[in-house]
Amino acid sequence: MNEIEERFLDALYRGVTDSEELDRALQLLQDIFGCRGAVLVSVDSQDPTATFNATSGWLKENLQLYLEKYADIDPAPAAIARLPIGSASTTNRMFTEEERRNGRFYNEFFLANGMVETLAGNLYSDQGHLAIVGVMRNAERDAFDDDDIAHMERLMLHITRAVQLRRAFFKVDARSLGLQATVDRLRAGIVLLGDKGAALFVNTAMQAIAQRGDGFMLDRSGRPLPANIEARRRIDALLADVAGGGTGGIVAMQRTSGARDYVVLVAPAPPSSAQSDWERSEPSGGAIVLVHDPEAQPAVMADVLEQGLRLPRGAARLVAALAADDDLKSYAEREGVTIHTARFHLRTALARTGARTQAELVRLAVRLLRDFALAEPKA
């Protein structure tokens, strides 16, 4: 393996998590074969977010034109996908001279931009997942031969592995981001601590609690830091217990404002889905700290319905009342409006949501509120 191939493999595997490195790997692949352009495409029909393409050289410069006018008539991707998995070939071998000469794509785009041949391989094709790689030469470079094809197939072993790792990484990353967004919506403060004691994640509610400085802060590493010395000792003891494989516990923590105490839960962090079975059998030392603030007010149902169903304020208030088993007459009396106004709000809500009946509208609202775990706060 020569120096340029070593740099290619280094950039390729760095490209699993770094798109700029993947682009650099494509440039190096192009250079390995003395070509003008390179492309790597991975398509996932079941999860479009996992689909990606990387290009270099000539194709990168002309990618927008290709996508807008020529991608639909390019015969090469389908032909490459029909190759045996792990094998490569060239467009001069996959298409006859007559097919190339009469092909609109070949003449209007490929040949018109100075390209004459592509060397490409089928990385894998399985259950809606497709990945191909290719390099493109101009007339100044000799035609691809058997040695070039064998060379590409050797490199494809690494490219396939990198593409599969990248696809898996971004799926895990997407799930992680989705989980983070969900945890950020919780009213309870949450800190996830690693096995060294530093915070791996602090949700929005915990940040707000710490910023109030009402008996509770976070140190520079994100570790919970109660103002009360006794509470600090107890939390440190629970964290030490979790680090040693224990189950943790609960602490009531005084607030400097005199408001009701925070309730703090310290428990072992759940194992990662990426861990092996033997890793999960060992105590990780990581911990999750959950802080309940009894003074925190829940979100108002009408606010959620106004935003979630895109309702005017009056219609959202009416739907919130109906979802809480109210009726039009009692709502109108409580709000000090006429029954005609209440009916107007109902018609507006039905029109905005597409619900056909009041019962269907209420079911729609209840499902939304249930997903957010909301209940109308009592006066």
- Write down the mean pLDDT value for the chain: 83
Are 35 and 67 in contact by the 8 Å Cβ rule? The answer is no
pLDDT in tens, 225-260: 898 899 999 999 999 998 888 888 888 888 888 888
Nearest to 260, CA basis, from 236, 285, 292: 292
pTM of the predicted model, to two decimals? 0.51
CA distances from 196 to 216, 248, 284, 335 (A): 21, 17, 10, 55
- DSSP assignment, residue 295? T
Bridge partners (DSSP) listed for residue 192:
201, 288
Question: Does the pLDDT of residue 288 top 90, yes or no?
Answer: no
Amino acid at 115: M
CATH class of residue range 301-371: mainly alpha
Instruction: Give me the mean pLDDT over the 30-37 stretch.
Output: 95
Q: Indicate where the chain has its CATH 1.10.10 domain(s).
A: 301-371
pLDDT of residue 309: 87
pLDDT of residue 179: 57
* Strand extents, DSSP E, the chain: 37-44, 52-56, 88-90, 115-126, 129-138, 189-193, 199-202, 216-218, 224-226, 249-253, 262-268, 287-292
Q: Indicate where the chain has its CATH 3.30.450.20 domain(s).
A: 187-292
**Pairwise CA distance, residues 187 & 184, whole Å:** 8
Question: Does the pLDDT of residue 275 top 70, yes or no?
Answer: no
187-292: CATH superfamily: PAS domain (3.30.450.20)
Q: Indicate where the chain has its CATH 3.30.450.80 domain(s).
A: 3-176
Instruction: Give me the mean pLDDT over the 341-347 stretch.
Output: 92
Give CATH for domain 3-176.
3.30.450.80
Burial of 48 (0-12, 13-18, 19+ CB in 10 A): exposed
Nearest to 264, CA basis, from 280, 272, 246, 252: 252
